[in-house]
């Protein structure tokens, strides 16, 4: 195993689904700047609990969503409004698949 692969493997951590994350913790987990997460919140991509950045709390679902947003921006060079639209469309696809599955037609 290369040193780089070992470093990546050691940086992972297991989060319980209900463990709230602060803004700083979310940024650290995603390896992003605070301003980037604040822009995601402003764009409506993330909707944390709390009224101001110092009191924001994020869930593991927010962490997952931020990770997808980061990959969309990094891999496809999509801007924040595009990320918001892409995530909205992915949510709609997931909802439609869930509906199809519940009717037994999928």
For residue 59, give the nearest of 69, 49, 50 by alpha carbon.
49
Separation of CA 45 from chain center = 8
Cα Rg, the chain, nearest whole Å: 16
pLDDT tens for the chain, 106 residues long, are 455 444 444 344 545 556 899 999 999 999 999 999 999 999 999 999 999 999 999 999 999 999 999 999 999 999 999 999 999 999 999 999 999 999 887 6
Closest CA to 38 of 57, 23, 19: 23
- Least Cα distance to 43 among 100, 82, 90 occurs for 82
**Euclidean distance between CA atoms 62 and 15, whole angstroms:** 12
Query: Per DSSP, what are the bridge partners of residue 49?
Result: 57
pLDDT at 41: 98
Is CATH 1.10.1660.10 what the domain over 16-103 is classified as, yes or no?
A: yes
Q: Where are the domains of the chain?
A: 16-103
């Amino acid at each position: 195993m290369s040193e780089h692969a070992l470093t990546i493997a050691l940086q992972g951590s297991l989060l319980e689904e209900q463990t709230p994350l602060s803004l700083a913790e979310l940024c650290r987990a995603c390896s992003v700047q605070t301003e980037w997460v604040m822009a995601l919140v402003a764009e409506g991509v993330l909707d944390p609990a709390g009224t101001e950045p110092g009191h924001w709390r994020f869930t593991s679902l927010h962490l997952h969503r931020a990770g997808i947003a980061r990959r969309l921006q990094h891999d496809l060079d999509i801007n924040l409004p595009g990320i918001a639209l892409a995530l909205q469309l992915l949510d709609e696809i997931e909802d439609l698949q869930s509906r199809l599955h519940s009717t037994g037609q999928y």
